[in-house]
Structure 1
Amino acid sequence: MPRSASLNEEMRAESRQKILAAALQVFAEKGYHGATITEITRRAGVSRGLASYYFPNKHLLVGELVDAYLDGVAAIIDVPGTPDERLAAIIDGVLRGLVGNLPVQGVILGLVVQPSTHRIFAEVEARKEERLRELEDNLRGLFERRGAADPALEEVMLRSVLEGVIYKAVVYGPQYPVERVRRWLYGTYGLSPPATTLSGEEPQPVGRLRAIDRGF
């Protein structure tokens, strides 16, 4: 009995997601240049031909991953509530991503800053110009309603601080004091202290951050 069109579509979507998930794993372990389509397809459990059909080269794979990342960032910004509630939710959304999936953050960060793949990031940003402007305007409007003298600068600084936190967390891993940083951010923006932690555990004292040799 032939498969229905909806089932075929579901299987195609599942295959694409397997390939993208495998690409994240391989990029995390071997970097962009060390990763191969052959290794990615092996991890995904799909044929080389199927992977090449969806993603003929690594360039397109990276573009898809960065595209999904930017959509995720935009989704974090689109939260309801008062300006203070929204700002707290944005901070928590970013930090929860660190606590829940640090390797993905590391891969995306690497792809964005590496000279060989930064242009791909720029291309994706250009394609999503309208969505990114909406994101920026959304944040600037939030700070305007909070009474900021320069909402545009506040938007830039919030994103800069959060991206710096992501960078440090990627470099130092579990020893990075995410919960303490979260409380600091709440205090800096005059928000009520969080009632719970993102990890479900009490924050540990801040130690001295030292990089660990991870073998790559």
Structure 2
Amino acid sequence: MSPRSASVNEELRRRSRERLLQATVELVAERGYEATKLGDIADRAGAARGLVSYYFPGKRQLLQSAVHRLMHLTLEEALEREPRTDDGRERLARAVDAILGLARDQPRLMRTHMAGILQAEGFIQCPEQQRLAQLLRDTVTRYGSADVDTDYPMLRALLMGAVVAVLLPGAPMPASRLRAELFQRYGLEWERGFPPDGGPPGGTFPP
């Protein structure tokens, strides 16, 4: 049997890594971070346990990469949903709704992710995070930013803050209110993106 080509080996490694990332998202969402062991992740992914350590230095890094992959895939799906559009304002509205939607639909997973970012190792750069950043930077560019290097980090910070506010134990902010604030900041009409039922919330918004 002839040896596999380098491209075939690379594709196999990519698939193995993605199975581990998907298994991590599923198990942490089901059981929580502490109850999820690296061996459980390998078993769910159908991978050898040594592969986890081969790809990731630890569980916290694995979780960050897994959640960044989920965020990237969710954001990509929202941006490319039919009817597809190149309208930068519509794409920004979809991006806001996609990230707020993850906080609503995956509260345990996203709360664990945000808690990990605030710990000592902080924000981990990984291929999944870089793909997420590329999508958000492209969204800011299409929106019409004249200074993407300044406006992209601000959008990222605002979205992270909104996710924390939605998930804050004991004092959560309604996602619809946070959506309205973000839409107001960026001059987006409420009807853009994927508006929730019930219309915009009441309250006073800055001009």
Residues 104 and 174 (structure 1 numbering): CA distance in 2 closer, same or farther, change over 3 Å?
farther
Pair 1:63 & 2:68 matched: no
Matching residue of 1:74? 72
Residues 115 and 204 (structure 1 numbering): CA distance in 2 closer, same or farther, change over 3 Å?
same
Aligned residue type for 1:22: L
Matching residue of 2:110? 105
Matching residue of 1:171? 168
1:114 match: secondary structure: coil
Kindly indicate which of the two structures has a greater share of residues assigned to helix: 1
**Identical amino acids, percent of aligned pairs:** 19
Aligned 1:121-200 pairs, distance under 5 A: 121-122=124-125, 124=126, 127=127, 131=131, 134-144=134-144, 148-172=145-169, 175-194=172-191, 197-198=195-196, 200=197
* Aligned 8 A contact 2:88 2:139 in 1: no
Alignment RMSD, CA only?
Answer: 4.0
Q: 1:92 offset after TM fit, Å?
A: 0.6
What TM-score do the two structures reach when normalised by structure 2? Answer: 0.63
Residues 128 and 89 (structure 1 numbering): CA distance in 2 closer, same or farther, change over 3 Å?
closer
Consecutive unaligned residues of structure 1, counting only runs of 5 or more, are: 1-11, 207-216
Aligned mates of 1:18, 1:70 — CA distance in 2: 14
Aligned mates of 1:161, 1:60 — CA distance in 2: 28
Aligned residue type for 1:62: R
Higher radius of gyration, 1 or 2: 1
Aligned residue type for 1:102: P
2:169 match: secondary structure: helix
Residues 173 and 202 (structure 1 numbering): CA distance in 2 closer, same or farther, change over 3 Å?
farther
Aligned mates of 2:47, 2:165 — CA distance in 1: 37
* Aligned 8 A contact 2:91 2:139 in 1: no
* Aligned 8 A contact 1:177 1:203 in 2: no
Q: 1:180 offset after TM fit, Å?
A: 1.4
Residues 83 and 94 (structure 1 numbering): CA distance in 2 closer, same or farther, change over 3 Å?
same
1:158 match: secondary structure: helix
Q: 1:19 offset after TM fit, Å?
A: 5.6
- What is the number of residues matched between the two proteins? 177
Consecutive unaligned residues of structure 2, counting only runs of 5 or more, are: 1-15
Q: 1:61 offset after TM fit, Å?
A: 3.7
* CA distances 1:141-183 after superposition (whole Å, capped 9, x unpaired): 2232xxx443332222111111111112222368421111112
1:191 match: secondary structure: coil
Residues 187 and 36 (structure 1 numbering): CA distance in 2 closer, same or farther, change over 3 Å?
closer
Residues 205 and 84 (structure 1 numbering): CA distance in 2 closer, same or farther, change over 3 Å?
closer
Aligned residue type for 1:183: A
